[in-house]
Structure 1
Amino acid sequence: MNVAQEFDPLYRAALALNLEHSHDGAALATITQTRGSTFRRAGASMLVLRDGRLICELSGGCPQRDIAWRAQQVIDSGQPALVAYGREANYDVMIETGCGGELEVLIEPLQVPRDLQFLDAIAQLRSRRLPGAMATVYAADGDVLGPRPQRLVQGEGVTWSDIEVDALRQQIAAALPTIDASMPKAATRRMSVDGRSYEVLVESLLPPHALVIVGDGVSARVLAELSVQLGWQTTLVDPAQTTTETSNGIRHIAASPQALATQVVLDHLTSAVVMTHRLERDLGYLEALLDTPVSYLGVIGSRQRAAQIQGALPHGHPRLHMPAGLDVGSETPQEIALAVAAEILATRNGRSGGPLTHSQMPIHP
């Protein structure tokens, strides 16, 4: 669950199971631990439906096929499973991927409405754009915890838990507030209570990244469509728009520079791109956006336009990305959208946006 942009499709698919009236169910596979080079990190989750469909696939390789096969067994049995892939077990599966690392995967059945309650709690936090944390108790004394893992979801104004051991729940609740941005997004901790040793996956829960695009041309629409594909909450501010509507995942609004902050959330998890291609209008929106904590603020245009904007703003503004986008030789609206989205992603993850060939940093943030 630690990849914010993957939650919505997984949650929609889980709700569509209609567990009140159907007993087909599904299985949720979550990576709990990794060691060395792996295709995904701890906290990544995939939903496996009884008909074989996969939501939020973990990878395209052999471990995913094996995980999906085991998930079908979990659906049939109604009991969770803890599967290790590494030198001690299922090593042949990992060898075929070429990753060379090891991982552990929790596979749990989703068969009754209460199995989805922790997802509802996460959705509450996301709807209010609040950060939080989730702890999943998935093993006790080395064995998978049954009949279900137990969880605590905690954030400002939201606390939900089905952890049965009070002392364990209190110990976990006391530990969660110590999580900060410098820690891994997800990691397994071992906690001891009353002589028993529990394995607990602790994950940070961040609101989804949001992108606000100000513009009314084809490039703005293409960037908005790509933003939706990336799982970002997308708002297209069109000065010519007469109504507020949402279509294909894009929220369309009309907002003047003065009213912008009252109609969209402009927080540190939001990026904004101004692309009206009209100098005075661009300046009006930029002046409004510069007073907000958005993490990325870009302007589409030529270098000449960028110089004009810098000259019109008092003291210039090093926060501005002008012209917006990575230098990939983009020309068409689709290529420009790709370059801009790539720069936003690199900025959010603290990366340079250069070739992986020349980077020694971990591939996954």
Structure 2
Amino acid sequence: MTPHEFADLYSGLQQLQESGFSGGAALATLVHTRGPVFRRPGARMLVFGDGRVVRGLSAGCPEADIIERSRDVIATGQARLLRYDREHGYDALMELGCGGEMEVLLEPLRAAGQLRFAEVVTQSLRQRSQGLLMTVFSQDGQCLPQPRRLVWGGSVLLDELDDPQLSDTLLSGVAPEDSLPATRLERVATPGGEFQVLVERLRPPLRLVLVGINTTALALARLARGLGWQVCLVDHREDSVLSGLPAGVDLLHAQPQNLAQQIAPDTRTAVVVMTHNLERDLACLQALRAVRLAYLGALGSRSRAAKMREAAGVTTAPLHAPAGLDIGSETPEEIALAIAAEIQAAASGHGGGRLSAGDGPIH
């Protein structure tokens, strides 16, 4: 699931803990899919005992069935593996309307210790660390009464497996940060049995740095915050005071030559230069040319963008200038939408084309 979704989930888990687990809750995790479905493995939904829901696994169904089954899981305190295919839950499967199949892990949450993994993952994301969340939920074909988790972020941050051989086997497949595997389901054989493990890549939220403050920058900042991105506005004037900043947006004073050092970018950082001063824009782009970023863009006309690309030379992150997808944008809000869409595509490794023009799977 995305960092934004995990933040919402963690907020719900905190509410559960503050209530003393009154009424209990169940956590539904999509662990396996086959064919076209609305979500990928790793998507989660929190179901409170009174039926309230945080986030979701699909466009609506089989959520009703999951909510109903959550009551049994909360009552028994035993996790269950729900299958929605042609042999199990077929009615709910038909309501999906997508022709796919899915398996959902449904686990009870009735004690603080069961929330420990969420606390560790949240802390890792806040520190902008990359890592892995491994959830062991089945042994020899049988769902475990309670899933066990291992969190890795450069080192072991949490190990609930109580099985050194299983831990060693899982950790032996850990790769450097740049090549962390995508979310996947693994079968791991040890002398203690064969385990099913959901392995999820943990990545910090996108961080958007907007160099230059104007109506388009503010529109993009508001949109980005709604997407759950971290946002920082950069102004070169040390004495500037900006009122009306969108909630949660940081303001940084920095000169172009110090930009890279002061924003402390990483591979989940996107930077858009839009000062409307060509010399200042060029100085910012040159300061960032050797920095590894998720996205580097600049606002301007095609002729202005050509000058910026020539002056910036070869950059570590491809320079998107003019920034944004071609959607006929005119207003600041429309331009913001075009730029945010291009950033999302770049960060996800997608081309940003029309879904209707392709014939492969959407996810």
Q: Same fold (TM over 0.5)?
A: yes
Query: Are 1:295 and 2:294 counterparts?
Result: yes
Which whole-Å deviations, capped at 9, do the CAs of 1:328-364 have from their partners, x for residues lacking one? Answer: 0011111111110111112222322111111134211
Paired residue for 1:21?
20
Q: How does 1:258-269 map to 2 (within 5 A)?
A: 258-269=257-268
Paired residue for 1:41?
40
Query: Are 1:167 and 2:165 counterparts?
Result: yes
Unpaired runs of 5+ residues, structure 2, are: none
In structure 2, C-alpha distance between the alignment counterparts of 1:22 and 1:66, rounded to whole Å: 23
Seen in structure 2, the aligned counterparts of structure 1 residues 87 and 179 have a Cα distance that, compared at 3 Å, is farther
* The 10-residue stretch of structure 1 (295-304 or 71-80) with the greater mean CA deviation from structure 2: 71-80
Which whole-Å deviations, capped at 9, do the CAs of 1:299-329 have from their partners, x for residues lacking one? Answer: 1122232234335x15476921111100000
- Letter aligned with residue 269 of structure 1: R
Paired residue for 2:361?
362
In structure 2, C-alpha distance between the alignment counterparts of 1:96 and 1:321, rounded to whole Å: 42
Q: CA deviation at 1:150?
A: 0.5
- Letter aligned with residue 257 of structure 2: Q
Q: 2:234 aligns with which of 230, 237, 240?
A: 237
Q: Does the 8 Å contact 1:121/1:158 carry over to 2? A: no
Paired residue for 1:102?
101
Three-state SS of the structure 1 residue aligned to 2:356 is: helix
Q: Does the 8 Å contact 2:80/2:106 carry over to 1? A: yes
Paired residue for 2:200?
203
Three-state SS of the structure 2 residue aligned to 1:237 is: strand
* The 10-residue stretch of structure 1 (100-109 or 201-210) with the greater mean CA deviation from structure 2: 201-210
- Letter aligned with residue 92 of structure 1: D
In structure 2, C-alpha distance between the alignment counterparts of 1:322 and 1:80, rounded to whole Å: 51
Seen in structure 2, the aligned counterparts of structure 1 residues 174 and 68 have a Cα distance that, compared at 3 Å, is same
Which whole-Å deviations, capped at 9, do the CAs of 1:141-164 have from their partners, x for residues lacking one? Answer: 222211x21011112144211112
In structure 2, C-alpha distance between the alignment counterparts of 1:308 and 1:179, rounded to whole Å: 35
Seen in structure 2, the aligned counterparts of structure 1 residues 29 and 180 have a Cα distance that, compared at 3 Å, is farther
Paired residue for 1:189?
186
Paired residue for 2:113?
114
In structure 2, C-alpha distance between the alignment counterparts of 1:98 and 1:239, rounded to whole Å: 52
Paired residue for 2:78?
79
- Letter aligned with residue 6 of structure 1: E
Seen in structure 2, the aligned counterparts of structure 1 residues 114 and 263 have a Cα distance that, compared at 3 Å, is farther
Three-state SS of the structure 2 residue aligned to 1:41 is: coil
Q: 1:214 aligns with which of 211, 216, 219?
A: 211
Query: Are 1:154 and 2:152 counterparts?
Result: yes
In structure 2, C-alpha distance between the alignment counterparts of 1:288 and 1:71, rounded to whole Å: 53
Q: CA deviation at 1:123?
A: 2.1
In structure 2, C-alpha distance between the alignment counterparts of 1:156 and 1:244, rounded to whole Å: 40
Q: CA deviation at 1:191?
A: 2.2
Paired residue for 2:62?
63
* The 10-residue stretch of structure 1 (8-17 or 214-223) with the greater mean CA deviation from structure 2: 8-17
Which whole-Å deviations, capped at 9, do the CAs of 1:140-197 have from their partners, x for residues lacking one? Answer: 2222211x210111121442111123322222222334897484x2222222333532
Three-state SS of the structure 1 residue aligned to 2:303 is: helix
- Letter aligned with residue 216 of structure 1: I
Seen in structure 2, the aligned counterparts of structure 1 residues 72 and 344 have a Cα distance that, compared at 3 Å, is same
Three-state SS of the structure 2 residue aligned to 1:222 is: helix
In structure 2, C-alpha distance between the alignment counterparts of 1:249 and 1:82, rounded to whole Å: 39
In structure 1, C-alpha distance between the alignment counterparts of 2:51 and 2:19, rounded to whole Å: 21
Three-state SS of the structure 2 residue aligned to 1:48 is: strand
Q: Does the 8 Å contact 2:30/2:102 carry over to 1? A: yes
Q: Does the 8 Å contact 2:46/2:53 carry over to 1? A: yes
Q: Does the 8 Å contact 1:245/1:252 carry over to 2? A: no
Query: Are 1:228 and 2:221 counterparts?
Result: no
- Letter aligned with residue 172 of structure 1: L
Query: Are 1:350 and 2:349 counterparts?
Result: yes
* The 10-residue stretch of structure 1 (332-341 or 201-210) with the greater mean CA deviation from structure 2: 201-210
In structure 2, C-alpha distance between the alignment counterparts of 1:14 and 1:330, rounded to whole Å: 40
Seen in structure 2, the aligned counterparts of structure 1 residues 254 and 74 have a Cα distance that, compared at 3 Å, is farther
Unpaired runs of 5+ residues, structure 1, are: none
CA RMSD of aligned residues (A): 2.5
In structure 2, C-alpha distance between the alignment counterparts of 1:84 and 1:258, rounded to whole Å: 56
Q: CA deviation at 1:245?
A: 12
* The 10-residue stretch of structure 1 (256-265 or 314-323) with the greater mean CA deviation from structure 2: 314-323
Paired residue for 1:280?
279
Q: Does the 8 Å contact 1:210/1:233 carry over to 2? A: yes
Q: CA deviation at 1:244?
A: 12
